[in-house]
Amino acid sequence: MQIEGIIFDWAGTTVDYGCFAPVQVFIGIFEEIGIPVTMEEVRAPMGQLKRDHIQSLLQMPRIGAAFQTIFGRSYTEADIDELHDRFEPRLLAILSQFGKPNPHVIETVEQLRHQGLKIGATTGYTSTMLSIVANAAKDYGYEPDHWVTPDQVMDKGRPYPYMIYENMKQLGLRHHAQVIKVGDTTSDMQEANSAGVWAIGIVKGSSMLGLTEVEVQQLSAEEERQMIAAVSKQYMEAGAHAVIEDLSQLPAMIDHINNRLLNKELPYGYPHQ
């Protein structure tokens, strides 16, 4: 038994270094209703379907209390819908600017394909949103064999396993233990665990790190070491089997997992290694 397929996340993993496109829109729509939100708050639910992301923000005690103070009541489903109605067109207007592949993506995917692996993708974006991102990424040379969005699986996005299952079906992947999910959020790790596939977190370029490429390059060696350790800890606590700094380390990690499979290890249970 060997790995047959890799399922990548999009923003923060393969494109949009630091996952900034949705972050800036979330901050903007909450500012408009008088509730400033922090970068940390916005990034906490990252990876979820965007309507679910808005609901998760409103469920945070500080934000929920601020909403209560401003509007004199708790938020309702209509409020979530209204915020999402603001969010979607603004994100759609900028997404074409965020399709550039992250470092090592194109060459790593080429190497994996040369080894016979299938390439899938899941996301927190809707089909309309991802179509824009995917077309932009294709212009740069990155195109997975298949991608699935939450609205293609009855809005059962992360942490549900169905986007991974649909990728497996379309790509002809036979067994969950032969599939790796690579992502940049805790919800990616939860999605992988729900599907019973291998979960790998990526540090550089991730929403979890939340830095631009220039900011990462400006870190001192000690600052970089501390940040990598902190992000890795969060991934492992969320159910990651392994963490890589960037995609150049993925082929070696696949070899490591293949060796674990030879020893009849399967991708569930703890502790992870």
Q: Is 79 a catalytic residue?
A: no
- At 7, give phi and psi (nearest 5°): -115, 115
Distance between CA 184 and CA 10 in Å, rounded? 9
Is 184 within any annotated ligand binding site?
A: yes
* Residue 91 to residue 131: CA distance in whole angstroms: 13
Residue 246 counted as an annotated binding residue: no
Give me the catalytic one of 16, 50, 118, 188: 50
Contacts for 198 with CB less than 8 Å, ≥ 6 apart: 3, 177, 179, 180, 181, 192, 241, 242, 257, 267
Catalytic residue among 9, 16, 52, 188: 9
DSSP labels for 227-252? HHHHHHHHHHHTT-SEEESSGGGHHH
197 within 8 A of 7, measured Cβ to Cβ: yes
DSSP state of 11: B
User: For residue 241, which phi and psi values (nearest 5 degrees)?
Assistant: -85, -25
Does the annotation flag 9 for ligand binding?
yes
H helical segments located in the chain: 21-32, 39-43, 50-59, 61-71, 77-94, 105-114, 127-140, 162-171, 186-195, 213-217, 221-237, 250-262
Beta bridge partners of 15: 11, 101
Q: Annotated catalytic, 145?
A: no
The one-letter code for the residue type at 228 is I
Q: Distance from CA of residue 48 to its chain's centroid?
A: 8
Q: Residues at the annotated binding site?
A: 9, 11, 184
Active-site amino acid positions: 9, 50
Q: Residues at the annotated binding site for Mg(2+)?
A: 9, 11, 184
